[in-house]
Amino acid sequence: MGACILMDFFLRYQERVATLTLYDYFFSYETSLSHEKQQEFIEMRQKPLRKDKDTS
């Protein structure tokens, strides 16, 4: 997500950016990851949140 924010910022404020280096990013989940990999990524990100959630 950070890369998307930076790219949007650059397009809006090019005069304020001297350099911009992006590494190991992708533009969207739909075009970069298979459905299975999307689900795996979401699960990985949600797992710590679910662990700390009080279910009582």
CB 25 within 8 A of CB 3: yes
The residue length of the chain stands at: 56
**CA pair distance 43, 40, nearest whole angstrom:** 5
**CA pair distance 7, 51, nearest whole angstrom:** 33
Summarize pLDDT for 1-56 with one digit per residue, the tens.
Answer: 677 788 889 889 999 999 888 776 766 666 677 888 888 888 888 888 888 766 55
pLDDT at 16: 93
Total tally of structural domains belonging to the chain: 1
Domain residues for the domain of 13 are: 2-52
pTM: predicted TM-score of the whole model, two decimal places: 0.43
